Structure 1
């Protein structure tokens, strides 16, 4: 994307050179605000009420979770301008060039899951707009739209984020007014005065908010890596944090309130989330407009999923093939293949969406919090923003093939969370002692960091300063 002029992005997992850097930290705000002002975040907020929390405590818990998880997420984003690389390629500094493939495979599964769940809801909205009943029609159309944006790449994803920000403010603003109007003064005040605090559902709400933010960690730097190298890390951090936390907290608050409306818990919202919101909007033409808002918001974040999924797949393969650049045609085919799989998953998962989505989000917490802890401890405390970037592509270089300390710590971080899990298929013994409260994500972050830091401090040998490639385009292509 030389000079930012190319219609289709050409960079993949290679370093973005200074001549192609562009944009401002504000772009991170609009991208992440727009990506969070969408239907899946509304559903995530509603889950806290559906599974037992009173609306007031659900909203407070969701907001706390978003704030805490957003800090971790934004710390990953701040790495982008300094490194000029997609997020997961930097994991090779911690896990080794080949070892990084282990968390990468899990990240790809995450992208597929989020792409599929988003496609389910967007497919419902497209079907409502077109007036068709066959679920596959909307799902396939949305998959094709996502493929087009993801293939165009970075610049167009940011453009879509700005559109989604404006559309999201208008659409969710209107829905917020409608919800407050339906609640009315007496019902609304009752949600406050009659709120019952329950620690289990409160911690679930915090986990849902934190999990939402933490799962952006593996790809957030993908969308800040084109910023000029001298962009202050603090500006990137705050722009990303504010956009993501404000956008998601608003959407989740709306979801919690919608789930508290009369009729929502009796099958209306549970049976058809998109259709219920359309009726809430007032039906008719205004409902069609809201459906379009849903599609635009989901198209933004689904493009992130497809784009990030492709980056992770390429990072995984390139560790074994020593490839760092892929031609446009192969890039497009890989993105389409990824989305084809997500569409198939969406068709299979649409029948029991809410339960599937809750368990999916909480499971992701278990496998990604240890990765976040290792990456952030290494970047900010061990390597201190000093990396040998050419060695990321050389299994015989500074970082080697496998870093067993990082891999062992990662495994320990996952295992240590098991007693604290609260899943449909398994509830940990400590969770039972806590009355069913799931704090596994917090254990995963703290325990992993505590194990990794002293071990890495003794064994890591970062360079004295950041080492960049002499020629960013001198790579092997396929």
Structure 2
């Protein structure tokens, strides 16, 4: 298999291939890992019982995946990565603003995934924690280097194998002696419930910045409806299953949240070589998404300033640097991983949701999916260097969200007045959608005919 030739450039029809059903395996597999299981610990850590944890996970997953899958449907139509398409909203140079936040998210997830994997294999590996971190980073680098085709193949294999492994873990979890009151409607807390819904929504939205990267090679005539539903069902089933499993195991296994990976390994076979290999496979697979996405984002940031031809050597160099930085960050271990993870997910939502609102309103409501692809790569094109409306709305939304925030690091005055209810994600969705649509409609759009390049 050859190293992928394309990076942020348009995929011509002669290189398009595949079927939309492959996206089910991509996004089911993207969730089939211990990081998603760890996300299921969070509703319980907020004080919810299993009934309310399960309901919030399902509700949040169903809502969040709508936005995620709507981004996925853009891939075949446009044939370019998700974040470079943001140039149509923010301008060729202006798109760097949301890109910088997205790159922080990639690095944060890379650290989270690697730390969990390192914890899980610490007792089984003869290597030190630092050596395990470096080895994991190297494996991620090799897979991400080969790119699109290899990622799709590995995700399909992971999806099929994970059904067996996590099926066994689920049967074990359901057989645990858990208090029956955990499945009743008692102990409802609105603030915790809404926070848990927000976590599940954000979890699904975390795929949005790169979801179209994995559908952009599909033929242009591919049904947008099929792309949407295969992406949607894959991520909802995979994400909600793993998070529900994490919530149940948190209640049924003493100290589960202290070391999610190690406890999950004991459930999957007591640290057997097969179980360790499966856990590592899952963590490498999801970290490849983050490394691949970070590479795309880095090229998107640099490309307007320099004529950059992404050869195999250039690709390898960029990915190696990014992987080295991310791996170095992993050595800064967290004393309280779950609290760090909780704050990180809330942090993501405050930036991701305004970006997704602007992007989807522009694509579906304003431009109806019709873009001039060549101008997305041209600072002098119709999308311009900087769209101050998009940037202004994006930054204003972040400021407006501050009073509604509720994290362990900061609690806004409105969140305090609402007894801890965090409505920042609602503000982050509604305000930019309405403001961007209104301001851009007033300014007027250049009407163009559908084009491939």
- Tell me the TM-score normalised to structure 1 length: 0.92
Aligned to 1:62: 57
Aligned to 2:448: 464
Aligned to 2:362: 378
Q: Are 2:221 and 1:226 aligned?
A: no
How far 1:466 moved relative to its partner? Answer: 2.4
How far 1:284 moved relative to its partner? Answer: 5.1
Say if 1:322 and 1:393, in contact at 8 Å, map to a contact too: no
Aligned to 1:333: 317
Aligned to 2:260: 273
Out of 129, 132, 146, the position equivalent to 1:135 is 129
Equivalents in 1 of 2:149, 2:78: separation in Å? 18
Say if 2:202 and 2:348, in contact at 8 Å, map to a contact too: yes
Question: After alignment, is 234-243 or 348-357 more displaced?
Answer: 348-357
Aligned to 2:280: 295
Any residues of structure 2 matched to 1:171-186 within 5 Å, and which? 171-183=165-177
Equivalents in 1 of 2:280, 2:229: separation in Å? 27
Q: Are 2:29 and 1:34 aligned?
A: yes
Any residues of structure 2 matched to 1:109-120 within 5 Å, and which? 109-120=104-115
Out of 438, 446, 450, the position equivalent to 2:430 is 446
Equivalents in 2 of 1:460, 1:115: separation in Å? 40
Equivalents in 2 of 1:81, 1:284: separation in Å? 42
Say if 2:51 and 2:185, in contact at 8 Å, map to a contact too: no
Q: Are 2:401 and 1:417 aligned?
A: yes
Aligned to 1:71: 66
Equivalents in 1 of 2:246, 2:341: separation in Å? 14
Question: After alignment, is 310-319 or 338-347 more displaced?
Answer: 338-347
Deviations 1:329-362 (A, max 9, x none): 0111111111111111111034321111110110
Equivalents in 2 of 1:147, 1:126: separation in Å? 20
Structure 2 SS opposite 1:321: coil
Say if 2:52 and 2:185, in contact at 8 Å, map to a contact too: no
Question: After alignment, is 253-262 or 350-359 more displaced?
Answer: 350-359
Equivalents in 2 of 1:308, 1:435: separation in Å? 38
How far 1:204 moved relative to its partner? Answer: 1.5
Out of 180, 183, 190, the position equivalent to 1:189 is 180
Aligned to 1:254: 245
Aligned to 1:408: 392
Aligned to 1:161: 155
Q: Please list every run of at least 4 consecutive aligned residues from structure 1 whose deviation after the TM superposition is greater than 4 angstroms.
A: none
- Say if 1:311 and 1:53 are closer, same or farther in 2 by CA, change over 3 A: same
Say if 1:382 and 1:460, in contact at 8 Å, map to a contact too: no
Structure 2 SS opposite 1:354: helix
Equivalents in 1 of 2:426, 2:191: separation in Å? 15
Aligned to 2:142: 148
Aligned to 1:353: 337
Say if 1:128 and 1:291, in contact at 8 Å, map to a contact too: no
- Say if 1:410 and 1:178 are closer, same or farther in 2 by CA, change over 3 A: same
Equivalents in 1 of 2:271, 2:374: separation in Å? 57
Say if 1:127 and 1:137, in contact at 8 Å, map to a contact too: no
Say if 1:421 and 1:431, in contact at 8 Å, map to a contact too: yes
Structure 2 spans left out of the alignment, 5+ residues? none
How far 1:137 moved relative to its partner? Answer: 2.0
Equivalents in 2 of 1:202, 1:210: separation in Å? 12
Deviations 1:397-427 (A, max 9, x none): 1111110111111111111111110112210
Say if 1:180 and 1:188, in contact at 8 Å, map to a contact too: no
Say if 1:21 and 1:227, in contact at 8 Å, map to a contact too: yes
Equivalents in 2 of 1:198, 1:352: separation in Å? 24
Structure 1 spans left out of the alignment, 5+ residues? 1-5, 470-478
Structure 2 SS opposite 1:219: helix
Structure 2 SS opposite 1:218: helix
- Say if 1:282 and 1:223 are closer, same or farther in 2 by CA, change over 3 A: closer
Aligned to 1:476: none
Any residues of structure 2 matched to 1:300-339 within 5 Å, and which? 300-323=285-308, 325-339=309-323
- Say if 1:145 and 1:122 are closer, same or farther in 2 by CA, change over 3 A: same
- Say if 1:131 and 1:350 are closer, same or farther in 2 by CA, change over 3 A: farther
Equivalents in 1 of 2:384, 2:185: separation in Å? 59
Say if 1:421 and 1:428, in contact at 8 Å, map to a contact too: yes
Equivalents in 1 of 2:116, 2:207: separation in Å? 19
RMSD: 1.4
Say if 2:190 and 2:421, in contact at 8 Å, map to a contact too: yes
Out of 80, 94, 101, the position equivalent to 1:99 is 94
Deviations 1:212-270 (A, max 9, x none): 0111111100000000100011100000011011100000000000111152xxxx223
Say if 1:35 and 1:298, in contact at 8 Å, map to a contact too: no
